[in-house]
Structure 1
């Protein structure tokens, strides 16, 4: 009897151990822009599940955009309902680090013997490095480009891409004269005031310099005047950005200036026309710089369970490393911030996908997508958005007056010098 009971006890212990071994570690993940990235994670997830069958990744409702993503994380940090891993815009990482929400990845990186060999570009890691510690792994990087409906361009006899905004205006006029009702959409309403920063970096000027709003000078006025000229001379319609992408994909807009991130989405939904992408025009020739768009994966888990944290790191590392990063390029227009993805896995990819090559050719122009310092960064973004919208809808005609108004309001929201 004793032997039978002992045997039964051993079997019971074995069954419990087996059940525990098979029990999955569950983690939660949140990301923005479902129209861009849903298809990406559909590609990545089966590969991750095959490699990590004991980890279950639950995906939360997607963020509308990067501002929504940051606002959501700030709220969830207060309510104690954070996901384990979040995707945040490259220009929105700092506030999560400053508030102690994003965990340093250094303890996990230090355990990876071949981390550097895994292919991360040092320049990309610096975008997520704060106080000499990496807090995010870049997942995707974008630059602004031009999208062209070559069928509509042909109506006006145009075969070459405009290289300056003055040439863009002349192209608009030629298109209008040849029956193209909607010649242009210029992405002023893209997340994070990205196109304002593009016009500033085009002139080799930062938008934030020494903690101050650097739009007060000649470069800032030139940026505003350039927008006004484009909007007025091209008679650009005030489209919401999703509507603009849909209109271009449907063949209703001849030229669209937007992030390369949307190439995959546009190609999947485009009508019967020839699509080509071209370099982002400059103010007086080739831009001197352009802001790096994109996002990074950050560990924001509030769990103290080592298994959850290690599972979160496994997911975070997988999606940003070679194969995961390569799926970003395959399904979107983003560039992987990972040498293994670009140079090995995607060796022939860009030759076969020239519309996605355009942004890669502009990489030497890459500059920081600047964050607005302090707790009011999101409010600053909204103030600038409202100011640019006033040009689009015709409320603002005096760009010098608008410049002064923006500088005063933005500067009042930035941290005081020495604070």
Structure 2
């Protein structure tokens, strides 16, 4: 009995020690409709590898602007999470304000960090002043989504016949309209961070921002605005909120949708009985785009804890979700590409062959360009000014694109100055 009592005491003591060793970290991320299922897949793998770390999930951010605004507010209130996911184009302000912590000291302790498959080019997306602050979690590029049953009403039944230029998209819209399709196309002007404006600019191999200057006042800027107007008018595109557009496409009501590859998984899980094909983003001229902006997000350490155990736990979580099986879960559950060589070339070796709808963005990787931020404290305000201007094209408020170009250029430049 004495031995049994002693054994029980030891077990209780060990259990108490394990409970004391338990570390809880807080984590926040955007786009629940895209990533909830991703983290549901990741969590069992993480708990198996790190049974003493609990990850407490905060309420999800609506989008990348909301993510950035929330973190800026929480920094003032002293309520920051330990790890946050931020849009690739929203990292710099958190670095400039000292909210994001450099990861160099953690990386230096990882003897096999390079072997985990991190692409140097991907690390560069989160590198500022020669220090890594963010590890990219997911990378996206704009692509075309097609309902092939709807496209057949316009005489398009094969991938090779899908439109390759925006002029061909407009011509296809007219055929679909003549065939009785009420909403032939949705084009993602309202995607986060003015991403599709930058897509048209990079399609001409032209940056949207040069230094602190807003480059919309260029010939390429005017051409981008004129291309949008031609698309919206030629396709009689409805002004619908982006979530409604994704739902409408998934329901089989829209023939063509131009959006981020990130939504492929969400569309596949909710789509009706039709054939989905994704294809390369059309160009403004024959030959396709010359470049496209890299979308997606990065994991950043924003913990205010002084406890080494908490900081180490936050690093273990941050590292796990961006490498190996954690990164592979991104591709399996969304349409994003994991920015990790091990995930792409080893774990997912056969995945893209078996999931062609998720392979389109991979084919476009040579076109990858920066998703540019608007510098300074007014970057979010500049984003909203541009958003309002682009919506005015959709609604018909703005008809003269040269006039709109001048107006947006002046308002945004004032904010950047």
TM-score above 0.5, yes or no = yes
Quote the residue 1:31 is aligned against. Answer: 29
Quote the residue 1:124 is aligned against. Answer: 122
**Cα offset for 1:17?**
6.2
What's the CA shift string for 1:240-296, capped at 9, x where partnerless? 000000000000000000000000000000001100001000101210000000000
What's the CA shift string for 1:18-40, capped at 9, x where partnerless? 51333310000000000000000
Match of 2:364 among 362, 365, 380: 362
**Partners of 1:222 and 1:278 in 2: CA distance:** 24
Match of 1:335, SS? coil
Match of 1:26, SS? strand
**Cα offset for 1:181?**
1.1
What's the CA shift string for 1:8-56, capped at 9, x where partnerless? 9x99899556513333100000000000000000000011011110000
**Cα offset for 1:210?**
2.4
Relative distance call for 1:21 and 1:408 in structure 2 (3 A) is same
Kindly indicate whether residue 334 of structure 2 is the aligned counterpart of residue 332 of structure 1.
yes
**Cα offset for 1:113?**
0.3
**Partners of 1:70 and 1:217 in 2: CA distance:** 29
Match of 1:148, SS? strand
Kindly indicate whether residue 234 of structure 2 is the aligned counterpart of residue 237 of structure 1.
no
Quote the residue 1:20 is aligned against. Answer: 17
Structure 2 gap segments, 5+ residues each: none
Map 1:89-100; keep pairs closer than 5 Å: 89-100=87-98
Kindly indicate whether residue 388 of structure 2 is the aligned counterpart of residue 377 of structure 1.
no
**Partners of 2:140 and 2:75 in 1: CA distance:** 28
**Cα offset for 1:179?**
1.0
Match of 1:254, SS? strand
Q: Which stretches of structure 1, 4 residues or more, deviate above 3 A after TM superposition?
A: 10-18
Kindly tell me the number of residue pairs found equivalent between the two proteins.
Answer: 409
Match of 2:27, SS? strand
RMSD: 1.6
Quote the residue 1:108 is aligned against. Answer: 106
**Partners of 1:94 and 1:186 in 2: CA distance:** 28
Quote the residue 1:320 is aligned against. Answer: 322
**Cα offset for 1:211?**
1.4
What's the CA shift string for 1:212-260, capped at 9, x where partnerless? 0001010000000000000011000001000000000000000000000
Match of 1:46 among 44, 47, 67: 44
**Cα offset for 1:183?**
0.3
Match of 2:296, SS? strand
**Partners of 2:137 and 2:11 in 1: CA distance:** 41
Map 1:212-251; keep pairs closer than 5 Å: 212-251=213-252
**Partners of 1:84 and 1:347 in 2: CA distance:** 33
Quote the residue 1:164 is aligned against. Answer: 165
Quote the residue 1:407 is aligned against. Answer: 409
What's the CA shift string for 1:279-314, capped at 9, x where partnerless? 000101210000000000000001000000000000
**Cα offset for 1:156?**
1.4
**Partners of 2:393 and 2:15 in 1: CA distance:** 65
**Partners of 2:76 and 2:9 in 1: CA distance:** 43
Quote the residue 1:75 is aligned against. Answer: 73
**Partners of 2:180 and 2:91 in 1: CA distance:** 45
Quote the residue 1:347 is aligned against. Answer: 349
Quote the residue 1:181 is aligned against. Answer: 182
**Cα offset for 1:108?**
0.2
Match of 1:175, SS? helix
Instruction: Output the TM-score relative to the length of structure 2.
Output: 0.96
What's the CA shift string for 1:53-97, capped at 9, x where partnerless? 000000000000000000000000000001100000000000000
**Partners of 1:115 and 1:99 in 2: CA distance:** 27
Quote the residue 2:392 is aligned against. Answer: 390
What's the CA shift string for 1:325-368, capped at 9, x where partnerless? 00000000000000000000000000000001100000000000
Match of 1:183, SS? strand
**Partners of 1:171 and 1:14 in 2: CA distance:** 71
Match of 1:196, SS? helix
Match of 1:163, SS? coil
